[in-house]
Structure 1
Amino acid sequence: MRNTNNTTGLVIAVLVVALVVRRQVRTRPVRRYGSLVAPALLGVVGAVGIAFGIAAAVKDRPLTLLPVVLLVASLAVAASFGVARARTVRVWRGPRSEVLRKGTAATTGLWLASLGVHIGLALWIDRAAGAGLLGTASLYAYVAVGLGTQNLLVRRRAAALPG
């Protein structure tokens, strides 16, 4: 029998990352706070998802240390991808001295690699937990940490531009 929960989770993951990547490759201004709103909202949804994932995992058995360690490691990996992606985003001053940003093909490639790594870690977390969908439920937290890290570093680069 096919696991429709994992299939649904994969579809949602692909859609979320596709929307984020689409926005990343468009030229847009670097805003003082706007770049932190989406990661904050995703972080709240991610925290709720992790809470539900833990509740589902502990329904039948206690949660062991391994899935928790893997979950924390996955969030650290998300931050690492955020650091790498921030370096690939072009940042420059526009014709009216506004600061603009645009992701590159490398940014997109790193988003896709990040999605693949998350899927692998999510499956590992779920297998280690033995029940529930803790790994799959951590998607929004994973995207929030990675996108938040990336946006903070892009904002830092934007602030350092002369002019």
Structure 2
Amino acid sequence: MNGDLVIAVLVVGLVVRQQLRTRPVRRIGSLIIPAVLGVLGVSGIAFGIASVVKDRPLAALPVVLLVASLAVAAGFGAARARTVRVWRGPQGEVLRKGTAATTGLWVAAGGVHLGLGLWIDHAARAGVLGTASLYAYLAIGLGTQNLLVRGRAAAL
């Protein structure tokens, strides 16, 4: 699991770093990373469920908490989208750049996911369902953020 944690920290670090760079708003490119994370997330959740059900039936509470966690990810994505600066560049292209508030919300989202993940795993009394859902959490949060930023860019 230590290798998985290192990879997860690297992925989150790269996503946050990318957020702080000035870059163009793209129609499709902004959804590729969330899609890849989504595939990893679905496989992580499937692995987490399998790790729980091998020992006992999966109770309702961990599932409810998992769904709530993913809803929280969407909420953080929506909040972060409001903190991203969007403007027209000198060539007429639409640019974006995250702010310190964007970074703060990423840190808060990570802390919330960690807490909810531990609660999910405690409620399941086995397995790694909560921690295995990190990629799904990132996919939903980043996807929501990118869709909303694209909407703001289209309005310019």
Place the TM-score, normalised by the shorter chain, in its bin. over 0.9
Q: Aligned AA for 1:30? A: V
Instruction: Find the partner of 1:15 among 6, 10, 13.
Output: 10
Unaligned runs of 5+ in 2: none
Amino acid of the residue matched to residue 64 of structure 1?
A: A
Is there any run of 5+ residues in structure 1 with no aligned partner, and where?
none
Question: Match for 1:66 among 42, 61, 65?
Answer: 61
In the alignment, does 2:10 pair up with 1:29? no
1:66-125: CA deviation from partner (whole Å, max 9, x where unpaired): 000000000000000000000000000000000000000000000000000000000000
Distance 2:4 2:98 in 1: 26
Identical-pair percentage? 79
Q: Could you tell me which amino acid in structure 2 is paired with residue 115 of structure 1? A: G
Query: Offset of 1:12 from its aligned partner?
Result: 3.7
Question: CA RMSD, aligned part only?
Answer: 1.1
Letter in 2 for 1:116: G
1:36-55 C-alpha deviation (Å, 9 max, x unpaired):
01001100110010001000
Q: TM-score, normalised by structure 1?
A: 0.93
Number of paired residues?
A: 156
4+ long deviations beyond 3 Å: 7-13
- CA–CA distance in structure 2, aligned partners of residues 106 and 59 of structure 1: 42
Distance 1:81 1:15 in 2: 20
Taking structure 2 as the reference length, the TM-score comes to: 0.97
